[in-house]
Structures are given as structure tokens and as C-alpha cells.
Structure 1
Amino acid sequence: MRVLTTEQIRQVEKLCFERYYNEAELMLKAGTACAESIIKKYGDALKNARVNVFCGGGKNAGDGFVIARLLFSYGANAKIVLCAGEPTVSEPLLYYREALASRVPAVDYADEYTACDFIVDCMFGIGFHGEPRAPFDRIFRTVNESAATVISIDTPSGTNAATGEACRECVCADDTIAISTLKMAHILPPANAYCGETNVVYIGIPEDCYEETYIQTITEDDVKSFFSKRDKNANKGTFGHLLNICGSYTMFGAAVIATKAAIRSGAGLVKLMTPKCAYPLAAAHLTQPIFKPCADNGTTFSADAAHAFDSEREWANALVLGCGIGENDDTRILVDYVLKNAKCPVILDADGINCLSRCINIIKDIKAPIVLTPHPGEMARLIGKTPAEIQNDRINIAKEFAKENGVILVLKGANTVVTDGKEVFVNMTGNPAMAMGGSGDMLSGMLGAFIAQGIAPFDAAKAAVYLHGLSGDLAAERLSTRGTAVCDMTELLGTLMSILD
């Protein structure tokens, strides 16, 4: 599914107007699709319900006039609330007059009109930026104080569709109906937090109007296409060898989580290379992997452990490096040696990334494919920025880093970004239940397992973040967003893998 910037949306609409429809026709299609979406979701709850459609002074109001007329004809007690007076632009004026002709009442805004069952927010469209002028600042505030169900059309008023920024008093929607495609406000913080449940309605813009390469969301169909049916004559070697170089005395749990996730994700053989001091601790929780205990310094890998990798280079089809290894001179030597000598794709996570951040320039000389999976803090250390700066420009920073360094980057967080420097994909699965230690280790294990099975690293990254988020959604649904643990998510992976068959 595409995600467009405001400039791209305007270009698509321009081509559509030139080749197929005029503005009035497209406005009618948009308003009709939105009304049908509302009716489909709320059905009989709309009958005789007080539905107030808040309309501003721009073209977004035209969608609102169409919606009000169609909900009124469906049986809702629909009313147009004019927040900027009667329309003066020709297309919205056309549909305003049609609504009035259909006996839809229209009133000028007053605070009392937020006392209703549903508010349809058509005050601002994709052109909003900055802070609202009076009276919209007060209107946004009273809408948010209302007990009504709030449905925003395209984007919640007060959010910036281009950047994902949000004004201080932006509308907080229960539902957002995105017209034609997702916009940046639907996927980027802080605006995405105000969208509620977002659904896209299609209004018939032909494919030849989309001429650029766009940001995309990862879909279930995408993920299914990466996996082939398992051969009934397969053996454990068929599904790859994964080497996990993970763990330390105090963070052996990271190795356990990554290894369990890899096993649940279908890897044929998983080998855990871990410090001797962590081996008995990890082994107490794992029965399926092969173990390779290595030299340690009492708490983490020692520098001597680097050469233990030599005998594994030919065996591994993929390797996960960094989960819970700690950051010190010894582990930095280990990370440097493994990266320079690996013959298979490497997933670099957690402390592996922190070790790399001191000598980031070596990454351009690494021959093996590299997938980095930083969270915003780790990304900030890699490039010398603050986590806040990363969050404010997640997509551009991720894409530029991947392009400059020739890697695949998985920038974790709400709506994880996956990019190879050319294409950008954003993940829409997942929820706040996943914001806990160990969640990233689980993702690394899944990603390593998929690559070991022969899936291309970029596709494996997309599949891993999608299914990882889905496991969090399923766990939160069965338990709660407060009481879900990583082990709950890992245990559900076996069930989730059934969608691939």
C-alpha cells in the first residue's frame, strides 16, 4: 500500500484531472466513498443518530457536504456545521447546495454542536500546517472534549499530512478515513497517534496517475509472497543454518529470546555461540539449539572468542550478531572480526550496533550483506544525533544511511521503517505492548531464521517486522497491552506461521 507526500498527492490529482475526471467529479467520488465507509462500519447505529459534519473553508468541506447528504439519506439526523461560513469555492459550493436541496440542515458553528453522537471532521485537509487560527483552536478543543465518536476525513484536522507534525490542539479522532492512499500523518509521530483506526478508501484514480516510486506499507500479501510451500521431502538442512553470536553473563536472556524466536520462525538448525560464563544459564532455558561456548573475560566474550568464529563461517547461512553481548574492547574486537570475515548475511543488533558506532566507516568495506536493526537511541549513536532528531525525520534518515553505507536498515519503533536506500517500507502492525526489553532480540532471531531459509535479506526484513508486530497484536488481544511479555509473543509465532502455508 502506497504512502504519499502532499506534493505527490497533488501530482497524482493533477494527472487525474488532466486525463480522467474534473475536480467536482473526484470530490463526489471521495465523499461517497467516505460515507459508504462510515455506513459500513456503524450501520444501524447511524439511524436517527445526531451526526454533525464540521466543515471548514477549503475543498475538504466539499467531501463533508457529500457525506452529510448521504448520511442524511441513510437515516441519520445529519447536520452541516459551518466553521468558516458558507463555501465560496465552486466545487464545495456545488455540493453544499445539493445538500441543502436534500433538506440537510446547515448551521454556523457554536459550541453546543459538539453535543452529538458522531462528529465528522472535514475542517482541514492535507494542506494544514502550523497552528490553527481562531476560531479553529477553540473548535478543535471542544471537539476533543465531546463524548461523540470523531471520524476525521483524510487526516485529523490540525495534523500536517506532509511531515506528521501535529498542532497543540489537533483533533483526536476515533477513526480516520484516508482518501486513496495513506499520507505521512498516518504513519509518522506524533500525528499518527491522533488518527485512531485508519482505513483507506479508494476513489477510482487510475494506476497510470501514479508515476513515482512511493513509500509503501508492508502487507500480508507481500509477506506471503516471500515464502514458498515446504517440500514434503525436506530435511533440517533444507531450511538453513543460523548462527547466533549473542549473550553475556548478565544478558543471557537476549540470546535465549533470539534463539527461541529463530527456532519458532522455521530455521532448520540454530547454533548459539555464547561466552562460557553464559552457557549454563542459556542452556537451562534452551533444548533445541547447538551450543558453542567460547572464551570469556568473566562476563562477556573475550577477544580470543573472535577466532572461534573461523570454524563456523562455512556452516552458517545467516548470522545474528550482538544481542546482549555488551560493549567493551573485547566485544568490539569480536564484532570487527566477524563483520570482516563473514561469508553470509549478518544481522547486526543491539550491542553489535553500539560496538560498530565507534568505527562506522568499516561498514562500507564489508563484503557480506549487512542488516542493521537499531532502535532510535542506537541509530542516534551511529550517526551522532539525538533520539529526538531521529524520530523527527525517521524515513529520510533511515533511507540516507542505508544508501550511503550499502546496507539494509530496520529502524525500529512504532511503524518500523525498512529500507535498502532505494525503496522504503513502513510496517503498520504492532502496538505499545511490544515496548519492552527483549522485543528487538526476538525480531533479530526471526530475521536471521528467514534469511537462513533462503529469503532475500530485504524481503526477510519486511517479513520479520510484519510478523513480529502481528505477534504483538495477537498477544495483546489475548492478554493486554500492559501484561504482555516477549515470551508470550514468541510462543505465538508457531501459530502465526500458519498464515504462510
Structure 2
Amino acid sequence: MSSLGRVIVAEQTLYTAAQVREFDRLAIASGIAGFELMRRAGQAAFNCVQECWPDRSPIEVFCGGGNNGGDGYVLAALAAEAGLAVRVWALAAPESLNGDAALAWQWARRTGVVVSLWRGESPQDNSVVVDAMLGIGLRGDVREHYRAAIQAINCAGVPVLAIDIPSGLCSDSGRILGVAIKAAQTLSFIGLKRGLFTLDALDCVGALHFADLAVPRNVYKQLSSGQLTGAVRQLNLAQMLAEWGPRARNAHKGAAGHVLVVGGDYGMAGAALLAASAAARSGAGLVSCATRPEHIGLFVAARPELMVHGVSGAQELQWLLAKATVVVIGPGLGQQSWGRELLAAVLAANKPLVVDADALNIIASEPQLLLSHCGPRILTPHPGEAARLMACSTLDVQADRFTAAQTMAERFAASVLLKGGGTVIATSDGLYLCNRGNPGMASGGMGDVLSGVIGAFVAQGLSPPRATCLGVVVHAAAADVAAVEGERGLIASDVIDHLRGVINGYAALS
């Protein structure tokens, strides 16, 4: 792809729409004309169409009434100058355009591009569609005229290039605002938007490309720390593993920490076993498990490396807590008296905690329990558990996953990872996002494995924020390796089998 439309794999910071607009303003202030930026954007998009779909014709460009539409008019003008069949469908009267977008329309008109107001027409069978309708400024639900156009495009079954962001997708949250384009390719400009990587974006963006439009590097350094609030850092597995480095040659198990997994009530032994097994495969020196006495034989037969202890109440847990470096509590814990008693004892011990599953649900019903805990803690909710913790609906959580994670981190003084496609992590160090993982992970036990991985990393000396981030991306990468054999039917044990290879760099990390 051309230098203006290249894929930027190493791009680590994801921005809000307001931050990208500020970069745009600063670029213009640095001496780059606004229309020149639009020309570069249109050129990059045209190059993308040519490289991805050289044999499809005509190019049908759907243009809105703002600068996103202006990018589309530039693309159309370039296509016409190249002698290609191109047509523009205008969702807003071209005569109403202002500024640079009006200049782009006039250029397209001079090149002979046919511009027609869209009145319900469907794209032709062999065409390629360019979505230049709404851009990053959309906040409320898509209006009816645009909604109808988006639906017509989605139903046409032809490939779509979305310019900057698929129309109808919120660039800050990744939420569909009523209806959104399902693009085959998306070309984003100046700064990658955080909403391209989570929630509904995973089904709308397609293959993502980035063009910085040759904006000077110093422009990106001009935002103050306050102006960067809400920016998200994308996790880089290879970089994080390199920073962690290899073990010392004289390492011993005591130096790699002791994870205690607490859980496994009647009928849920497997959850605690998965968490403990994952902790062992992730490098913890010692792993103990406190569970129902009836489950000891099962654990020993399945994973003899574990130290398994039957506990009937909090008193039997105390000596185990004294030996632990970190406690993972929640997998299979249940919400009955046994689980509640053990959770109270764990919280009172003030050990570093990874809190998952039913432990989160108990805390949601009795938030005052956390007042008894003074140590560092990591919360690992899925959206339903997050909703219970925040006393809101799952829809409220999913409406803005970044804000939800940040709010929980502040409210509970914890590192928080909000599970789901495009996992979001909020820590004292800021917001992070994991863009690995796959739909095969939508199966029981995956969260138990994740909590065990994070616990192992805390035990080995990583700070809770760092352990949370590395745990999330290692877990997702292991699931991606396992999914090479297919996403449907992927189970949590498959992920455990690949943890060691990912952590030690033997599995593919690209």
C-alpha cells in the first residue's frame, strides 16, 4: 500500500474523536492547508480501493454533508482523472457543502463525476462502495435518510471501504448508533480512534489501515496530559515480554511466588481447577488451591503439581493465606455461606488479590466488604458482573466500555479489566486495550483461566497493573494460537495448553 495508506502495526495510542480533531487543527496551524489534508486523505482512500479491488467497477461513493463527504468527493475526482467508472451518491445536497468539502465537490464536478442525490438506489452487483457519509463526529443515533442508505449498502453484498470509520459507529465507544456500515476495509486518518477496537467495531471495521497524512511528528506531542485524558494504549505482547525478560539462571520456585486459588464449591470444582492450572502454566513457583474437601482427589488426579487443601470454613484457610504471595478468589466460589465466609477471610488478610466470578457478585451485593481489604486488587468482570458492581444495566456498561472500566477502577481503587471483544483495562497507569482474542473464547472457563494467569504474573513480581495487562494479552494470544484449529469448539483447557509457548515466545506473536 502507498505511504499514505499504509498499515501501521506499531501504532500504540488510540485517541478520542476530540483528540483527533485537535491534531487536525494543530496540523493546519503548523502550515498544512485543510484542503491539502483532505486531498491526502482522498488519495490514500483511492489507493486503498485500487489495491484491494482493482477488478471491481464502478466505484460508488456515498458522500455525506461534512468533511468525511469531502474525502469521498476527492476520491471520486481522482478516480475520474484516472479514467475509472465512478459515481457519487450524495446524502446531502452538494450545494450545501461548506469550506474544504465544497472545494472537493467542485473538483469532482470539474472532472465530470456524476453526482446524484441518493433516493434509495442499491449499489451495482460488481461495484465497490466507498462509505464517506458520517465520519467521527456522530453522537446520536443515525438519522433516517442515512440509516436507509447504510441498510441498502449492507444488503447489497458488495465490498465496502469505510473512510476514517464505518458510518454509524461511535468513534469513542465502538457502539453502533442505531445502524452501521459493515465494511470490508477501513482506512483511518491522523490518529487511530479507540472505538475502532472494541464492542461492535469488531463486526464493522474489517481490515484496518491507517494513514497519518504526513502530519509532522511534533504535532502529536503538543497535547497536554490533560488533553490526552481518555487516550488508550494498545497492548504489545512482544514488547511486554521483552521488557519482562528471561528468568535468572539461578531462579528457584520460591522466587516465582505462591498463588492461592480459593473456590470450587459443589458442582463448580472445574472452575478452580482451571484457574490453578493456568497459574501453574504461567510460571508461578507454587500453586495451592483451597476448595471443598470432596474435590481433593479430582484435583490431584488432574494436576498433581498443585497443592490441594480441603477447607470447610474460614478458620482452615488462615495458614494457607499466610503462605500466599497472591490470592485468586472467585472461580467456582458460589454465593452461599461457604463462599461468603471464605471471601471475608481473604479480604481481611490484605494480600494482593485477583477477584473474579462469584467473588465479584458477592461484593456487588455487599460493597462494604472491600473496606476490610487494604492490599492491591485486580477486578476481572465481564459486562454483566460490571453492571452489578456499578448498579446499572449491561447496556449502560457496553454503551461506553472505556468509561465503565475507568469508573470501576476509581470506585474500587483497583486495576480493572472489562472482558469482551476488545478487552479494556483501567489502571492507575491509564487505559489500555487488548486487540487480540477471537469469538471462540465465548465458552465456559475462559475467565477462570485468565484470573489464574494474572495471579501467576503478580506472584512473579509484576505490579498489579502490569500483571493485568500482560495477563490479558497472553491469555488472548494463547486463545488465538489454539483457534488455528477452529474457533467453534475452543475450550478453556485448549488455552492453558498454549500459555507456556506464548509466554516463552515459542508461539507466533505477530
Residue 247 of structure 2 aligns with an amino acid whose one-letter code is R
Q: CA deviation at 1:122?
A: 0.5
3-state DSSP of counterpart to 1:284: helix
Identity of aligned residues (%): 30
Q: 1:416 aligns with which of 398, 423, 426?
A: 423
For 1:389 and 1:130, the matched residues in 2 are separated by: 15
Matched, 1:127 2:137: yes
Alignment CA distance shift 1:170-1:394 (3 Å): closer
Matched, 1:218 2:235: yes
3-state DSSP of counterpart to 2:137: coil
Residue 103 of structure 2 aligns with an amino acid whose one-letter code is L
Contact 1:335 1:356 in 2 (8 A): no
Task: Show structure 2 runs of 5+ residues with no match.
Answer: 1-11
Partner of 1:349: 356
Deviations 1:413-444 (A, max 9, x none): 22222112561112222222111210100000
Matches within 5 A, 1:50-199: 50-70=58-78, 77-86=85-94, 88-99=97-108, 106-109=115-118, 111-133=121-143, 135-190=145-200, 192-199=202-209
Q: 1:358 aligns with which of 362, 365, 368?
A: 365
For 1:400 and 1:327, the matched residues in 2 are separated by: 25
Matches within 5 A, 1:182-261: 182-190=192-200, 192-205=202-215, 206-211=219-224, 212-213=228-229, 214-261=231-278
Matches within 5 A, 1:284-363: 284-291=301-308, 293-296=309-312, 303=313, 306-343=314-351, 345-363=352-370
Partner of 2:44: 33
Does 23-32 or 94-103 show the bigger shift?
94-103
Q: CA deviation at 1:37?
A: 4.3
Q: CA deviation at 1:145?
A: 1.2
Alignment CA distance shift 1:495-1:50 (3 Å): farther
For 1:118 and 1:157, the matched residues in 2 are separated by: 16
Partner of 2:471: 464
Does 443-452 or 95-104 show the bigger shift?
95-104
Contact 2:195 2:201 in 1 (8 A): yes
3-state DSSP of counterpart to 2:420: coil
For 2:377 and 2:413, the matched residues in 1 are separated by: 8
Matched, 1:378 2:385: yes
Q: CA deviation at 1:75?
A: 7.7
Contact 1:185 1:192 in 2 (8 A): no
For 1:424 and 1:91, the matched residues in 2 are separated by: 35
Q: CA deviation at 1:38?
A: 4.5
What is the root-mean-square deviation in Å for CA atoms of aligned residues? 2.7
For 1:347 and 1:74, the matched residues in 2 are separated by: 59
Alignment CA distance shift 1:109-1:383 (3 Å): closer
For 2:240 and 2:334, the matched residues in 1 are separated by: 33
Contact 1:16 1:209 in 2 (8 A): no
Q: CA deviation at 1:445?
A: 0.7
For 1:154 and 1:34, the matched residues in 2 are separated by: 9
Partner of 1:299: none
Alignment CA distance shift 1:496-1:36 (3 Å): farther
Contact 1:241 1:318 in 2 (8 A): yes
3-state DSSP of counterpart to 1:53: strand
Q: 1:499 aligns with which of 482, 500, 505?
A: 505
Does 15-24 or 481-490 show the bigger shift?
15-24
Contact 1:155 1:177 in 2 (8 A): yes
Q: CA deviation at 1:351?
A: 1.6
Alignment CA distance shift 1:253-1:72 (3 Å): farther
Contact 1:226 1:455 in 2 (8 A): no
Partner of 2:30: 19
Partner of 1:477: 484
- The TM-score with structure 2 as length reference comes to 0.87
For 1:400 and 1:222, the matched residues in 2 are separated by: 28
3-state DSSP of counterpart to 1:367: coil
Deviations 1:17-54 (A, max 9, x none): 223423112222323333444455x2xx4146432222
Alignment CA distance shift 1:234-1:115 (3 Å): same
For 1:389 and 1:91, the matched residues in 2 are separated by: 37
Contact 1:47 1:76 in 2 (8 A): no
Alignment CA distance shift 1:38-1:113 (3 Å): closer
3-state DSSP of counterpart to 1:145: helix
Residue 311 of structure 2 aligns with an amino acid whose one-letter code is A
Does 416-425 or 462-471 show the bigger shift?
416-425
Alignment CA distance shift 1:499-1:56 (3 Å): same
Count of residue pairs brought into register by the alignment: 487
Contact 1:373 1:412 in 2 (8 A): yes
Matched, 1:489 2:495: yes
Q: 2:18 aligns with which of 7, 31, 45?
A: 7
Residue 220 of structure 1 aligns with an amino acid whose one-letter code is L
For 1:326 and 1:132, the matched residues in 2 are separated by: 43
Contact 2:356 2:451 in 1 (8 A): yes
Q: CA deviation at 1:463?
A: 1.1
Alignment CA distance shift 1:419-1:48 (3 Å): closer
Q: CA deviation at 1:161?
A: 2.6
Task: Show structure 1 runs of 5+ residues with no match.
Answer: 297-302
Does 102-111 or 411-420 show the bigger shift?
102-111
Residue 15 of structure 2 aligns with an amino acid whose one-letter code is L
Residue 165 of structure 2 aligns with an amino acid whose one-letter code is T
Alignment CA distance shift 1:404-1:222 (3 Å): farther
Deviations 1:252-284 (A, max 9, x none): 111221122112212222222222111112222
For 1:151 and 1:377, the matched residues in 2 are separated by: 34
For 1:267 and 1:75, the matched residues in 2 are separated by: 63
3-state DSSP of counterpart to 1:62: helix
3-state DSSP of counterpart to 2:277: helix
Does 393-402 or 270-279 show the bigger shift?
393-402
Residue 230 of structure 1 aligns with an amino acid whose one-letter code is R
Contact 2:45 2:163 in 1 (8 A): yes
- The TM-score with structure 1 as length reference comes to 0.88
Alignment CA distance shift 1:7-1:269 (3 Å): same
Contact 1:165 1:189 in 2 (8 A): yes
For 2:82 and 2:258, the matched residues in 1 are separated by: 59
